[in-house]
Structure 1
Amino acid sequence: MFVRFLALFVVLPLVLASNPKRGLAFDPAGYPEDIYKASGGSCSWVYNWSPSSPSPSVSGIEFVPMQWGTDGLNGFLSRARSDSAMNVLGFNEPDYGQQSNIPVGTAVQMWKADINPLASSGIRLGSPAVTSADSGLPWLSAFLAQCSGCTINFLAVHWYGEGAANLILYLQKVHSMYPNYKIWVTEFADTRTDAGAVLEFMKQVVAFMDATDWIEKYAWFAYKRTTSPLASNMLDGNGNLTPLGQWYIHG
C-alpha cells in the first residue's frame, strides 16, 4: 500500500490539470483516504472547515485553512503562518444559530485581533462566510461597515436552493452590492433529491462561475460519502465517485 501511495505522489504533479477556481469542500466523515479520489483532476484547492489540513493530503492541491468559530482562535495566526497558507477563510455562517453564530461586534473584535494580522504576512483573507438566508447579507454588510481598517481580500458566501437561475441571481446580487470584491462560493448545492436534476444544475452553475471574472473560487457541497436525503454527494457509500463527483472532479 505504501508503494502504491508513493507512486501516486510521484506522478501527480505530471498529470494534474486543475481549474484554478474549482475546489473541494471535503468532509472526510471517517474516510480521510477519500481525498485520493480527487487526485489528477480539476480541483486546485481544498478546505475542511478547519485550520488543520486533511491527512493524508494530495500534492498539488492548495489547502485553505478556516477559522470556523471562536474556539481555538488564539492559535490560528501561528498555524496559518507556519503552514505557509496563501489564503484563509473566516468564520463559518456566523449569521446562523446552528453554525458558528457570532454577533457582528464580537466577530469584528476577533477578526482584528486574531485574523487581520495575517495580512502583514501576505496571506489573503476571506470574509466570514454567510448563508443565503435573509440574515446573511445584512450580517455581512454590518461586518464590513464595523470592521474599519480590516483587510478583506475576498467575500465568501454559501447558497442552497433549487435551480441554477436562482443561484446565479443571488451571486449577481452579491456582486452588485459589493462590486469591489472578488467572491468565493465556498458551499453551494441544489437541494433536490433527483440526481439528474442536481447534475444539470451543477453543470450550468459551474459554467457560469468559470466564465465570470468576479467569481474567484468555488467549492460544491460536498465531497463526502453522503448528503442524505439530498443528492449532492460526490462519493457513494463505498467511496467511489458518483456521476456528480466524476463530472466535477474530471469534467
Structure 2
Amino acid sequence: MVIKKRQILWDWTNSSGAGNPGVPGKLDQVGFGANSPVASLINWNAWVPPELKGRVPFRPMVRELASASGNDWSIIQNNNFPIILFFNEPERHGISPEKARDIWLKQMVPLRKNKGRKLGSPAVASDDNGRKWIEKFMSLIPNDKPDYLCLHYYSTNADEAIKYITNMHNKWNKIPVMVTEIACIDRNYQNVVKFTAKVCNWMDKQSWIAEYGLFDFQRKVADDFVSPAAQLMDANGNFTELGKKYCHEQPMKGPDGKVLLVAEAGEEEAAAVGVQSLAVEEQPEEEVAAASAAADDAETDAQLIEPLTNEEGEETATAENGTEEEPTMGIMAISQDAQKALNLHNNKRKGKNLKALTWDDKLAQNATAYAKVLAQKGKLEHSPGSSRPNQGENLAAGTGSLNLEKSAKMWLDEEKNYHGEKIPDGNFGSYGHYTQCMWKSTTKVGMGSAKGSNGWTYVVGRYSPWQLYWTEAVLIIMRLLLMLRLGYLLETGFHTVRSLLR
C-alpha cells in the first residue's frame, strides 16, 4: 500500500514569471498518481504554481508579515485551500510571538471557524531560539491551538531528527505533525542517503505525522548551510538520484541498496506508552525492520516495576566454551539458531546480574504461529494484546539471512540507546526491544520465524512475564483502589482482580 505523505517543496523560481522562464515542465518528473507517495506541494507562497495542474493539493503559506495582507492574503481568503501554513521561521525574521499571536487570532483562526480551514503552526528552526519562540507562541494561544505542528529539522544525525520530532509532538498534547522542511547537511552523499532513507521511512510509518517535505527542489544550493550532496534537482532542473528516490521509492533504500524499514507498535501499544514504539535497524547483510511492544495483559506484581539490574547478583552456570549454559524447558530440543538467540539474551542479562531466561516451547509455538500470520500478510505489525496475555512481543523482518540469532542481536544492540530513564520515558522506541529482553521479572522466552512469498523472513519473540510500564501500573492500581472504594472487590473476590489485568 502506498503511503502518501511526501510534500514537494517546489522553489518558486521553478515556475515561470517576469524575467524568469523557470523550469515548470520539470515538475512532471514527480510522476503524480495513485502509486506515488507524493501528497502535496509547497512553494512558500500563497499563489498556486500553474504547472501543478491540480494533481495534488497545494499548501499555501502566510510566509511573512507582508503575506498577511495585500494580494497574498486575498488569494488565501478567496480560495478553498483545505490547509493553510503560517509563518516560516519567524524568529529569524523579526516576528515576535506576540505579533504572531495577534495575526493568528485575528486572521487565521476565523478561517478555521468560518470556512473550515485547517491551520499549520509557525515552523521554527530546531535551535534554542526556535524552540523558545514556539513555546512562547503556543502559550499565548491556549484555546486556539493549530491543527498541525509544523517543524523544521536539519542535521547529520537521523536518530537525533527522530528524537526531536517525537519530543516536539509529545510536548503539545499530541497535535499532528507536518515536518515542512527536513534535510541532511552532511557533505558526504552516502551519509545523506542513509539519513534520508532512515528518516523518511520512519516518518512514513508514524500515524501522527501527516506530511513531510524534503528540502528542496531548486536549481541551486540555497545557502552555505544546506549540503550540495542533498540537492534534489540539478542546475538544469533535472531531478538528482536523491530527488528521484524521494518521489518514487517507498520504502527508501540506503546507500548499499538495502531497504531500511521502520515498524511501529499497534494502536494499543502506542496508547499505553504515549508514543509510537519504533526502531530503525541497519544490517549490511539484509534488509531489516524491527518493532517492540508489550502485551496488554500484566500481573500487578510489584516486582514487575523494577530496574534492569539485579542487586542480589545471582551467579549463572558457565559452559566449558566460556558461554552460558542456557536453561531450557519443555519437551522439544531447540534448534541451534534458537540456542544462539537464547545465549545472546542470557549473556547480556548476566552482565546485568539478571537471572537467565528459559526457553519455553509454548511461547515458541505461539511466536511461530504469529510469524506465519505476518508472512502471509507481508506486513510487520503487532498482534493484539488480548491474543497474548501477560506476554511481551518483539518483531523483526528482513531479507537475506535474517534468523532468530540476528534478530535477538538487533534487539539487544539497542542497549546503547537506554540510559536508565524510567520506562517508557525518552525515546522509548529506540530502546524498547532491549528493555523487553532485559526485564528483570521476565523468566521465559520463545521465538519463531516464517518466510513470506515476498522473500522476507518474519521473526517474532515472545516474553513472559512482559515489561509493565510505570504509567500502566499506576492506572491499574488506581482502578483497583476505585473498585475497593465502591466495595466491588468484597463481593466478587479474587477473580475481579484478575479480570482487571486481562
- Aligned twin of 1:164: 158
| Structure 1 residue 20 displacement after superposition | 2.5
Greater Cα shift, 107-116 or 23-32 = 23-32
Q: Where do residues 107-146 of structure 1 align in structure 2 (5 Å cutoff)? A: 107-120=100-113, 121-146=115-140
- Aligned twin of 1:55: 50
Structure 1 position 88 matched with structure 2 position 84? yes
| Structure 1 residue 157 displacement after superposition | 0.8
SS in 2 for 1:24: strand
SS in 1 for 2:235: coil
What is the CA–CA distance in structure 2 between the aligned matches of 1:151 and 1:178, rounded to whole Å? 9
String of CA shifts for 1:188-231, please: whole Å, max 9, x gaps: 10001112211121110011101111211100000122326612
- Aligned twin of 1:36: 28
Q: Is the 2:62–2:87 Cα contact (8 Å) retained in structure 1?
A: yes
What is the CA–CA distance in structure 2 between the aligned matches of 1:101 and 1:208, rounded to whole Å? 34
- Aligned twin of 1:26: 10
- Aligned twin of 1:70: 65
| Structure 1 residue 59 displacement after superposition | 3.0
- Aligned twin of 1:8: none
String of CA shifts for 1:18-57, please: whole Å, max 9, x gaps: 6431111111433333322223342120111101111221
Moved over 6 A (4+): none
**Structure 2 residue corresponding to 1:226, chosen from 196, 220, 231:** 220
Q: Is the 2:46–2:73 Cα contact (8 Å) retained in structure 1?
A: no
If the length of structure 2 is used for normalisation, what is the TM-score?
0.44
Letter in 2 for 1:191: I
Q: Is the 1:46–1:63 Cα contact (8 Å) retained in structure 2?
A: yes
Structure 1 position 104 matched with structure 2 position 97? yes
- Aligned twin of 2:189: 195
Q: Is the 1:116–1:151 Cα contact (8 Å) retained in structure 2?
A: no
Letter in 2 for 1:110: I
Q: Is the 2:120–2:150 Cα contact (8 Å) retained in structure 1?
A: yes
- Aligned twin of 1:212: 206
Letter in 2 for 1:57: L
Task: Assess, with a 3 A threshold, how the Cα gap between structure 1 residues 77 and 150 changes in structure 2: closer, same or farther.
Answer: farther
Q: Is the 1:18–1:44 Cα contact (8 Å) retained in structure 2?
A: no
Identity percentage of aligned residues? 28
| Structure 1 residue 151 displacement after superposition | 4.4
What is the CA–CA distance in structure 2 between the aligned matches of 1:33 and 1:203, rounded to whole Å? 27
Task: Assess, with a 3 A threshold, how the Cα gap between structure 1 residues 199 and 61 changes in structure 2: closer, same or farther.
Answer: same
SS in 2 for 1:143: helix
Q: Is the 1:235–1:245 Cα contact (8 Å) retained in structure 2?
A: yes
What is the CA–CA distance in structure 2 between the aligned matches of 1:107 and 1:193, rounded to whole Å? 35
Q: Is the 1:36–1:58 Cα contact (8 Å) retained in structure 2?
A: no
Q: Is the 1:25–1:47 Cα contact (8 Å) retained in structure 2?
A: yes
Q: Which has the higher contact order (CA 8 A, sep 6+)?
A: 1
Q: Where do residues 146-157 of structure 1 align in structure 2 (5 Å cutoff)? A: 146-157=140-151
Letter in 1 for 2:112: A
Letter in 2 for 1:216: A
String of CA shifts for 1:99-144, please: whole Å, max 9, x gaps: x331011111111122111102111000000110111122111111
- Aligned twin of 1:6: none
Q: Is the 1:18–1:43 Cα contact (8 Å) retained in structure 2?
A: no
- Aligned twin of 2:467: none
What is the CA–CA distance in structure 2 between the aligned matches of 1:203 and 1:113, rounded to whole Å? 40
Greater Cα shift, 176-185 or 121-130 = 176-185
**Structure 1 residue corresponding to 2:75, chosen from 75, 79, 88:** 79
What is the CA–CA distance in structure 2 between the aligned matches of 1:135 and 1:63, rounded to whole Å? 29
SS in 2 for 1:115: helix
Q: Where do residues 6-17 of structure 1 align in structure 2 (5 Å cutoff)? A: none
SS in 2 for 1:62: coil
What is the CA–CA distance in structure 2 between the aligned matches of 1:47 and 1:111, rounded to whole Å? 20
Q: Is the 1:234–1:242 Cα contact (8 Å) retained in structure 2?
A: yes
Task: Give ranges in structure 1 of 5+ residues lacking alignment.
Answer: 1-16
What is the CA–CA distance in structure 1 between the aligned matches of 2:40 and 2:67, rounded to whole Å? 23
Count of aligned residue pairs for this structure pair: 232
SS in 2 for 1:56: helix
| Structure 1 residue 172 displacement after superposition | 1.7
- Aligned twin of 1:9: none
Task: Assess, with a 3 A threshold, how the Cα gap between structure 1 residues 152 and 215 changes in structure 2: closer, same or farther.
Answer: same
What is the CA–CA distance in structure 2 between the aligned matches of 1:182 and 1:58, rounded to whole Å? 28
SS in 1 for 2:52: coil
If the length of structure 1 is used for normalisation, what is the TM-score?
0.86
What is the CA–CA distance in structure 2 between the aligned matches of 1:202 and 1:86, rounded to whole Å? 28
**Structure 1 residue corresponding to 2:233, chosen from 229, 232, 235:** 235
| Structure 1 residue 83 displacement after superposition | 2.2
What is the CA–CA distance in structure 2 between the aligned matches of 1:124 and 1:149, rounded to whole Å? 15
| Structure 1 residue 244 displacement after superposition | 0.3
Q: Is the 1:77–1:115 Cα contact (8 Å) retained in structure 2?
A: no
Highest CA radius of gyration, 1 or 2? 2
